[in-house]
Chains A and B, each alone.
Chain A
Amino acid sequence: NAGVTQTPKFQVLKTGQSMTLQCAQDMNHNSMYWYRQDPGMGLRLIYYSASEGTTDKGEVPNGYNVSRLNKREFSLRLESAAPSQTSVYFCASSHPYQETQYFGPGTRLLVL
Protein backbone atom coordinates (compact mmCIF):
# COMPACT_ATOMS: atom_id res chain seq x y z
CA ASN A 1 0.00 0.00 0.00
CA ALA A 2 1.98 3.00 -1.30
CA GLY A 3 -0.59 5.68 -0.35
CA VAL A 4 -0.23 8.77 -2.54
CA THR A 5 2.62 8.82 -5.05
CA GLN A 6 3.84 11.72 -7.17
CA THR A 7 6.19 11.95 -10.14
CA PRO A 8 8.60 13.49 -10.79
CA LYS A 9 10.24 14.42 -7.48
CA PHE A 10 12.09 17.35 -8.97
CA GLN A 11 11.91 19.20 -12.29
CA VAL A 12 13.58 22.21 -13.87
CA LEU A 13 11.76 23.98 -16.70
CA LYS A 14 12.46 26.98 -18.86
CA THR A 15 9.84 29.70 -19.15
CA GLY A 16 7.22 28.70 -21.71
CA GLN A 17 7.81 24.96 -21.49
CA SER A 18 5.00 22.61 -20.57
CA MET A 19 4.87 19.63 -18.27
CA THR A 20 2.47 17.32 -16.45
CA LEU A 21 2.75 16.37 -12.80
CA GLN A 22 1.40 12.92 -12.06
CA CYS A 23 -0.39 11.76 -8.93
CA ALA A 24 -1.84 8.37 -8.05
CA GLN A 25 -3.44 6.92 -4.94
CA ASP A 26 -4.16 3.32 -4.04
CA MET A 27 -6.54 3.91 -1.12
CA ASN A 28 -9.75 3.89 -3.21
CA HIS A 29 -10.40 7.52 -2.30
CA ASN A 30 -13.01 9.47 -4.23
CA SER A 31 -11.60 12.96 -3.72
CA MET A 32 -8.24 14.25 -4.90
CA TYR A 33 -6.54 17.64 -4.60
CA TRP A 34 -3.58 19.64 -5.92
CA TYR A 35 -1.87 22.23 -3.69
CA ARG A 36 1.14 24.45 -4.08
CA GLN A 37 3.39 25.36 -1.15
CA ASP A 38 5.25 28.66 -1.11
CA PRO A 39 7.34 30.07 1.75
CA GLY A 40 5.27 31.97 4.31
CA MET A 41 2.00 31.18 2.53
CA GLY A 42 1.14 27.69 3.66
CA LEU A 43 -0.52 25.45 1.10
CA ARG A 44 -2.98 26.85 -1.40
CA LEU A 45 -5.50 24.76 -3.32
CA ILE A 46 -5.07 24.80 -7.10
CA TYR A 47 -7.74 22.33 -8.25
CA TYR A 48 -9.69 19.50 -6.74
CA SER A 49 -11.79 16.57 -7.89
CA ALA A 50 -14.64 15.53 -5.63
CA SER A 51 -15.15 12.31 -7.55
CA GLU A 52 -14.14 10.62 -10.78
CA GLY A 53 -15.29 12.69 -13.74
CA THR A 54 -15.49 16.02 -11.92
CA THR A 55 -12.95 18.79 -11.37
CA ASP A 56 -13.26 22.26 -9.85
CA LYS A 57 -11.07 25.30 -9.39
CA GLY A 58 -9.52 26.08 -6.09
CA GLU A 59 -7.94 29.27 -4.81
CA VAL A 60 -5.14 29.66 -7.39
CA PRO A 61 -6.09 27.87 -10.65
CA ASN A 62 -4.68 30.32 -13.21
CA GLY A 63 -2.00 28.79 -15.42
CA TYR A 64 -2.95 25.21 -14.59
CA ASN A 65 -5.20 22.48 -15.93
CA VAL A 66 -6.10 19.13 -14.43
CA SER A 67 -7.34 15.74 -15.57
CA ARG A 68 -8.99 13.11 -13.42
CA LEU A 69 -7.94 10.18 -15.56
CA ASN A 70 -9.70 7.56 -13.43
CA LYS A 71 -10.40 7.02 -9.76
CA ARG A 72 -6.71 6.51 -8.96
CA GLU A 73 -5.01 9.23 -10.98
CA PHE A 74 -5.19 13.03 -10.99
CA SER A 75 -2.70 14.98 -13.10
CA LEU A 76 -1.76 18.66 -13.08
CA ARG A 77 -0.59 20.33 -16.29
CA LEU A 78 1.34 23.54 -16.79
CA GLU A 79 0.82 24.56 -20.42
CA SER A 80 3.32 27.43 -20.47
CA ALA A 81 5.43 27.56 -17.33
CA ALA A 82 6.26 30.90 -15.70
CA PRO A 83 8.81 31.70 -12.97
CA SER A 84 5.87 32.48 -10.64
CA GLN A 85 5.00 28.78 -10.79
CA THR A 86 8.25 27.83 -9.06
CA SER A 87 6.94 26.01 -6.02
CA VAL A 88 6.50 22.67 -4.32
CA TYR A 89 3.39 20.86 -5.50
CA PHE A 90 1.50 18.40 -3.33
CA CYS A 91 -1.22 15.99 -4.30
CA ALA A 92 -3.66 14.71 -1.68
CA SER A 93 -6.66 12.42 -1.49
CA SER A 94 -9.49 11.73 0.93
CA HIS A 95 -12.22 9.20 1.53
CA PRO A 96 -15.84 10.30 1.22
CA TYR A 97 -17.24 11.81 4.44
CA GLN A 98 -13.84 11.56 6.11
CA GLU A 99 -12.18 14.94 6.13
CA THR A 100 -8.61 13.80 6.67
CA GLN A 101 -6.48 14.26 3.58
CA TYR A 102 -3.46 12.10 2.79
CA PHE A 103 -0.56 13.78 1.07
CA GLY A 104 2.06 12.66 -1.40
CA PRO A 105 5.77 13.46 -0.97
CA GLY A 106 5.64 16.48 -3.29
CA THR A 107 7.19 17.64 -6.57
CA ARG A 108 9.70 20.47 -6.42
CA LEU A 109 9.44 22.60 -9.58
CA LEU A 110 11.88 25.29 -10.63
CA VAL A 111 10.99 27.51 -13.59
CA LEU A 112 13.88 29.54 -14.98
Chain B
Amino acid sequence: GNSVTQMEGPVTLSEEAFLTINCTYTATGYPSLFWYVQYPGEGLQLLLKATKADDKGSNKGFEATYRKETTSFHLEKGSVQVSDSAVYFCALSDAGGTSYGKLTFGQGTILTVHP
Protein backbone atom coordinates (compact mmCIF):
# COMPACT_ATOMS: atom_id res chain seq x y z
CA GLY B 1 0.00 0.00 0.00
CA ASN B 2 0.87 3.67 -0.09
CA SER B 3 2.90 5.27 2.67
CA VAL B 4 4.55 8.60 3.45
CA THR B 5 7.47 9.11 5.82
CA GLN B 6 8.46 12.53 7.14
CA MET B 7 11.56 13.51 9.04
CA GLU B 8 11.27 13.33 12.78
CA GLY B 9 10.42 16.53 14.56
CA PRO B 10 9.93 18.88 16.18
CA VAL B 11 12.08 21.36 14.31
CA THR B 12 13.11 24.59 16.02
CA LEU B 13 14.72 27.41 14.03
CA SER B 14 15.61 31.04 14.41
CA GLU B 15 13.94 33.60 12.17
CA GLU B 16 15.58 33.86 8.71
CA ALA B 17 17.09 30.37 8.95
CA PHE B 18 16.89 27.87 6.08
CA LEU B 19 14.25 25.16 6.40
CA THR B 20 14.22 21.63 5.03
CA ILE B 21 11.62 19.03 5.99
CA ASN B 22 12.27 15.66 4.38
CA CYS B 23 9.51 13.55 2.90
CA THR B 24 9.76 10.21 1.12
CA TYR B 25 6.96 8.05 -0.19
CA THR B 26 6.04 4.57 -1.34
CA ALA B 27 3.27 4.24 -3.89
CA THR B 28 2.08 2.22 -6.84
CA GLY B 29 1.39 4.13 -10.00
CA TYR B 30 1.97 7.84 -10.32
CA PRO B 31 0.62 9.72 -7.31
CA SER B 32 0.30 13.44 -6.88
CA LEU B 33 2.22 14.87 -3.93
CA PHE B 34 1.17 17.58 -1.50
CA TRP B 35 2.33 19.64 1.44
CA TYR B 36 -0.42 20.75 3.81
CA VAL B 37 0.06 23.16 6.72
CA GLN B 38 -1.91 23.29 9.97
CA TYR B 39 -1.71 26.47 12.03
CA PRO B 40 -2.54 26.22 15.74
CA GLY B 41 -6.22 25.49 16.34
CA GLU B 42 -7.08 25.30 12.66
CA GLY B 43 -7.74 22.72 9.96
CA LEU B 44 -5.29 21.80 7.23
CA GLN B 45 -4.62 24.09 4.31
CA LEU B 46 -2.96 23.18 1.05
CA LEU B 47 0.51 24.74 0.88
CA LEU B 48 1.71 23.39 -2.46
CA LYS B 49 1.44 20.40 -4.73
CA ALA B 50 3.09 18.62 -7.69
CA THR B 51 1.34 16.20 -9.99
CA LYS B 52 4.18 14.60 -11.97
CA ALA B 53 7.87 13.85 -11.80
CA ASP B 54 10.23 16.88 -11.81
CA ASP B 55 7.36 19.30 -11.17
CA LYS B 56 8.14 21.97 -8.59
CA GLY B 57 5.36 23.23 -6.37
CA SER B 58 5.77 26.63 -4.73
CA ASN B 59 3.79 28.99 -2.51
CA LYS B 60 4.54 31.66 0.12
CA GLY B 61 8.31 31.15 -0.35
CA PHE B 62 8.09 27.38 0.18
CA GLU B 63 9.18 24.96 -2.56
CA ALA B 64 9.20 21.21 -3.12
CA THR B 65 10.27 19.17 -6.17
CA TYR B 66 8.73 15.82 -7.12
CA ARG B 67 11.71 13.44 -7.40
CA LYS B 68 10.60 10.10 -8.78
CA GLU B 69 14.11 8.59 -8.78
CA THR B 70 14.48 9.12 -5.03
CA THR B 71 10.72 8.96 -4.24
CA SER B 72 11.03 12.22 -2.36
CA PHE B 73 9.23 15.56 -2.02
CA HIS B 74 11.29 17.61 0.43
CA LEU B 75 9.92 20.97 1.61
CA GLU B 76 12.30 23.97 1.64
CA LYS B 77 12.19 27.64 2.49
CA GLY B 78 15.12 29.98 2.30
CA SER B 79 14.22 32.27 5.19
CA VAL B 80 11.56 31.28 7.73
CA GLN B 81 9.44 33.69 9.73
CA VAL B 82 7.79 33.38 13.13
CA SER B 83 4.46 33.18 11.30
CA ASP B 84 5.60 29.92 9.64
CA SER B 85 5.33 28.11 12.98
CA ALA B 86 2.87 25.30 12.32
CA VAL B 87 2.58 21.57 11.68
CA TYR B 88 3.52 20.48 8.14
CA PHE B 89 2.14 17.33 6.54
CA CYS B 90 3.39 15.60 3.43
CA ALA B 91 0.73 13.60 1.59
CA LEU B 92 0.09 11.69 -1.59
CA SER B 93 -3.07 11.13 -3.57
CA ASP B 94 -3.94 7.93 -5.37
CA ALA B 95 -6.50 9.53 -7.67
CA GLY B 96 -4.66 8.35 -10.76
CA GLY B 97 -6.97 10.29 -13.02
CA THR B 98 -10.18 9.11 -11.38
CA SER B 99 -12.82 11.46 -10.08
CA TYR B 100 -11.71 11.24 -6.45
CA GLY B 101 -8.59 10.36 -4.50
CA LYS B 102 -7.72 9.28 -1.01
CA LEU B 103 -4.88 11.10 0.69
CA THR B 104 -2.19 9.22 2.60
CA PHE B 105 -0.45 11.47 5.14
CA GLY B 106 2.90 11.48 6.82
CA GLN B 107 3.00 11.85 10.58
CA GLY B 108 3.50 15.62 10.50
CA THR B 109 6.44 17.80 11.50
CA ILE B 110 6.07 20.52 14.10
CA LEU B 111 7.99 23.66 13.17
CA THR B 112 8.66 26.39 15.73
CA VAL B 113 10.41 29.58 14.64
CA HIS B 114 11.85 31.89 17.29
CA PRO B 115 12.47 35.64 16.78
Which residues in A have some Cβ–Cβ distance to B below 8 Å?
4, 30-31, 33, 40-45, 48, 50-51, 58, 90, 92, 94, 96-97, 99-106
Nearest opposing residue in chain B for A103, CB measure: B43
CA distance A58 to B38 in the complex (A): 22
Task: Write the nearest CB–CB distance from A80 to chain B, whole angstroms.
Answer: 26
Of all chain B residues, which has the CB nearest A105? B43
Identify 8 new A-B residue pairs, CB closer than 8 A, beyond the known A44-B105, A102-B46: A30-B99, A42-B89, A43-B89, A50-B100, A97-B98, A99-B32, A100-B49, A103-B36
In the assembled complex, the Cα of A48 lies from the Cα of B95 at a distance in Å of: 13
A48 touches B100 (CB 8 A): yes
Q: Name the distance in Å between B54's Cβ and chain A's nearest Cβ.
A: 18
Residues in B with CB closer than 8 Å to A51 are 99-100
Q: Is there contact, CB below 8 Å, between A103 and B44?
A: yes
Q: Point out residues on B near A: beta carbons under 8 Å.
A: 4, 32, 34, 36, 41-46, 49, 51, 89, 93, 95, 97-103, 105-108
Bound Cα distance from A44 to B4, whole angstroms:
12
Contact B105 A105 (CB under 8 A): no
Question: Which of A41, A48, A100, A102 makes the CB contact (< 8 A) with B102?
Answer: A48
**What's the Cα separation between A97 and B105 when bound, in Å?**
20
Complex Cα distance, B103 from A102, in Å, reads 12
Contact residues in B for A45 (Cβ distance below 8 Å): 102-103
Chain B residue with minimal CB distance to A91? B43
Nearest neighbor of B51 in chain A, beta-carbon distance: A99
Asked if B107 contacts A96 (CB within 8 A), the reply is no
Partner of B105, one of A42, A102, A104: A42
In the complex, are the beta carbons of B107 and A42 less than 8 A apart? yes
Contact partners of B105 in chain A: CB under 8 A: 42-44
A31 lies within 8 A of B100 (CB): yes
A60 to B98, CA, bound (A): 23
User: Which residues on B sit within 8 Å (CB–CB) of A58?
Assistant: 102
